[in-house]
Structure 1
């Protein structure tokens, strides 16, 4: 039996070899443009496979565009608030300059000193304002929990109810973002 199998297998191998030789003799050489044209002719534009491939390509392009936009937004945000930590570290210096001015304001002997501290404070405020830092809240303004932190209530007759009666500590905003809320006393009329 093994002899018959060997003969059959040999005949099949010869047949395959013959077909391969014939195919290589009949090979047609096509340029790349001709090959692309043939492919376009044989692919049906309404074919599901082509439609799915097109949708997948469009989704990939949309995802790439979304990633590009998100990275641009994050980069802009990073640039906009890059100085936030440094400016928030400088706020105690402004607080101390304000305290020095408040305590020495009525001392006649320290008039030149007060003027120097005031000039330094103004220069400091001008410098940080160039980077987008602004102070928020002053007595008489309406209390806004987005920018103010209520420390208590006071009763001041000439101020409207719900307004700031007294500033305990200045608040600061960097380009619209609260760095430190202002600590205030809120006017409460009975």
Structure 2
């Protein structure tokens, strides 16, 4: 009997061992399913974060492009208005020479109103006067003329005024410099 008991105990042990292995496999399958779900969740979170970041970059980029578009459109209008500003300056100079105060007053009012309107939109004059040092970064030398030592390398005359739109020079002033 003792051999039979051993065999029965051994069989019981084998059955018990098989049951434990089956339970372990089920737990391992459950853990691996949980791990798989955790991995999938992490992947989906990463995809979501990347998509969100890409969308935020898209919004910033389009906002920047829109601002640049408005600046560019404004710049084109300002460049188109510059010959009109030059004509007003020439007209004012000629009317002052003639001494026609009635016409001079009207043209000055219109010129002032136009200049103020454009200044409100960001257009400013690049200030350069005769006697200033020549700076090639903010002005364009049209020609050089012989001048005394005190005017060497300095602006002798401003031929055409320059304009800035914000911080960008959209037309460089054309100047004559002393040599």
Q: Do these two structures clear the TM 0.5 threshold for a shared fold by scoring above it?
A: yes
Q: How far off its partner does 1:145 sit?
A: 3.0
Separation in 2, partners of 1:61, 1:154: 62
> Which deviations, in whole Å up to 9, do the C-alpha atoms of 1:48-101 show, x marking residues without a partner?
665555444333322222111111111222234432222221211111111122
Corresponding position: 1:57 with 2:57: no
> Which deviations, in whole Å up to 9, do the C-alpha atoms of 1:113-140 show, x marking residues without a partner?
2333223212211111111111113213
| Distance change in 2, residues 1:144/1:111 (3 Å) | same
Q: Which runs of 5+ in 2 are unaligned?
A: 1-29
Q: Corresponding residue for 1:43?
A: 34
| Distance change in 2, residues 1:40/1:117 (3 Å) | farther
RMSD: 3.1
Normalization by structure 1: what TM-score? 0.63
> Which deviations, in whole Å up to 9, do the C-alpha atoms of 1:8-34 show, x marking residues without a partner?
xxxxxxxxxxxxxxxxxxxxxxxxxxx
Query: Of residues 98, 115, 123 in structure 2, which corresponds to 1:125?
Result: 115
Separation in 2, partners of 1:61, 1:185: 56
Confirm or deny: 8 A CA contact 1:138 1:166 kept in the other structure. Answer: no
Q: Which runs of 5+ in 1 are unaligned?
A: 1-38
| Distance change in 2, residues 1:50/1:161 (3 Å) | farther
DSSP-derived class of the 1:143 partner: coil
Size of the aligned set, in residue pairs, is: 149
| Distance change in 2, residues 1:177/1:48 (3 Å) | same
